[in-house]
Structure 1
Amino acid sequence: MKTVKIDFVSDIACPWCAVALGALEQALAELGDQVQVEVHFQPFELNPAMPLGGQDVIEHLVEKYGVGPKQVRENQEQIRKRAAEVGFPFHPEGRKWVYNTFDCHRLLHWAGIELGSAAQHRLKRELLGTYFTLAVNLDDRTNVLDAVDRAGLDRVRAAEVLASDEFKDAVREQQKFYLDAGIHSVPAVILNDRLLIQGAQPVEQFKAALLQASNE
């Protein structure tokens, strides 16, 4: 059986990325030993210019999409329902603020490089949960390091990464690679470097794509 390489291009500030991860995890659970996969989480920043302190989420989304606050809240509720369906509970009152996520991408790169894909996967889920389930301040590094703890990773080493510029250039290079490859919105899930699943697709679509990639 061929191991399917999965590059999951996403941002932890992207609610649809959480939905897509939940759907992918559910698909893998339902397929069981029918497929073998290796998942790599790749960086994409929705708001690379977001300054320290962030921005109110309603204000941000109104500016970004040109819709009113009521529509934003309705859209957010629909995403929350989709996330719950795939086992990714969001905070009932929603996230309040949008933050810069570059440091989180540096930590994810660290986890993948030094600890392996399973550790990186756990950290990815905990960082998404920090943002969307706990809905706490990502600019407070204590909250980020608490996610490292929950993922079972080395808090001291993670703090060293955050206090330095480690992996800064590597993350920038990976971001450029996917932008140059035409990825301009996320989630983007790439199987075996060639089959692209764009957006938060249903579980059944992930299952079909994984089986196809595994059998090619």
Structure 2
Amino acid sequence: MPTPIRIDFVSDVACPWCAVGLAALQQALAHSGDALQATLHFQPFELNPDMPPEGEDLSGHLTRKYGSTPAQQAQIQTAIRERGAAVGFAFCPTGRGRIVNTFNAHRLLHWAGLESAERQFALKRALLEAYHGRGERVDHEDVLLAAVRQAGLDEARARQILAGDDYAAEVREAERRWLDAGIHSVPTVVIDERHLISGGQPPEVFERALRQIAAQGAG
């Protein structure tokens, strides 16, 4: 009988490695379904919580934040595209264009999680595909609502959320909780609130860890 486990996927829509990590985790879960039954919960983390409404040019942002050169950035982006292709996630060839504020995306993801784990997963995938797969701005309402429709969620309710401050306090509280738990980089996968896996690992790393944890739980 598969062992039930809880997976908290702490991530930001703005993070390309989160797209890689989620796709890899999906593969790992598909391959280890005989051993475990997972429930997946997406938890908020903002890489750039103070990002202004107009966003910031990607290359300039990376240089300012990490000190990287355009040549180094190109190498990293090539590596990310290759890792994405290996797990079935296609990155936009021209990149994201701008770094944007993702707080509204996290508010919608919180709401989606209240609807169902399946809807939240669908919305997360839709947002990652919009931003990293097509280079669309996930701080723009039309892009957010398109993702909501793609996930099968109520567009009218999403409009209400975006027009007000619903779930803002809940998202900020969750962000503080994960920061207080010592998480300062994403993606971070937390299994059964005890086991932590950092980074966009390959599927086999996730699968091996999941099977070991499931075996411990079954024992």
**Normalised by the shorter chain, which TM-score bucket?**
over 0.9
- 2:163 aligned residue: 163
CA shift at 1:2, angstroms?
2.5
Distance 1:138 1:120 in 2: 16
Distance 1:186 1:54 in 2: 20
Distance 2:69 2:81 in 1: 19
Distance 2:39 2:213 in 1: 12
CA shift at 1:32, angstroms?
2.9
Gaps of 5+ in 2: none
Distance 2:58 2:124 in 1: 21
- SS of residue matched to 2:166: coil
CA shift at 1:75, angstroms?
0.8
- 1:183 aligned residue: 183
- 2:214 aligned residue: 214
Gaps of 5+ in 1: none
Distance 1:91 1:146 in 2: 18
- 1:71 aligned residue: 72
**8 Å contact from structure 1 (residues 53, 139) kept in 2:** no
- SS of residue matched to 2:34: helix
- 1:83 aligned residue: 84
CA shift at 1:116, angstroms?
1.0
Q: How many residues align?
A: 215
Amino acid at match of 2:84: A
Distance 1:3 1:32 in 2: 10
- SS of residue matched to 2:197: strand
- 1:110 aligned residue: 111
Distance 1:72 1:96 in 2: 13
- 1:135 aligned residue: 135
- SS of residue matched to 1:41: strand
CA shift at 1:212, angstroms?
1.7
Distance 1:195 1:51 in 2: 35
Q: What percent identity do the matched residue pairs reach?
A: 51
Amino acid at match of 2:50: A
TM-score, length basis structure 1: 0.97
- 2:39 aligned residue: 38
**8 Å contact from structure 2 (residues 3, 35) kept in 1:** no
- SS of residue matched to 1:5: strand
RMSD after superposition: 0.9
Of stretches 58-67 and 36-45 in structure 1, the one that deviates more from structure 2 is: 58-67
TM-score, length basis structure 2: 0.96
Distance 2:91 2:147 in 1: 16
Amino acid at match of 2:81: R
- 1:196 aligned residue: 196
CA shift at 1:138, angstroms?
2.2
Distance 1:204 1:136 in 2: 31
**8 Å contact from structure 1 (residues 6, 189) kept in 2:** yes
- 1:17 aligned residue: 18
CA shift at 1:142, angstroms?
0.3
Of stretches 136-145 and 186-195 in structure 1, the one that deviates more from structure 2 is: 136-145
Does the alignment pair 1:29 with 2:21?
Answer: no
**8 Å contact from structure 1 (residues 192, 213) kept in 2:** no
1:87-112 CA distances to partner (integer Å, 9 max, x unpaired)?
11110111111000000000000000
**8 Å contact from structure 1 (residues 16, 199) kept in 2:** yes
Distance 2:6 2:207 in 1: 14
| Runs of 4+ in structure 1 over 4 Å off | none
Distance 2:133 2:90 in 1: 6
CA shift at 1:208, angstroms?
1.0
**8 Å contact from structure 2 (residues 105, 139) kept in 1:** no
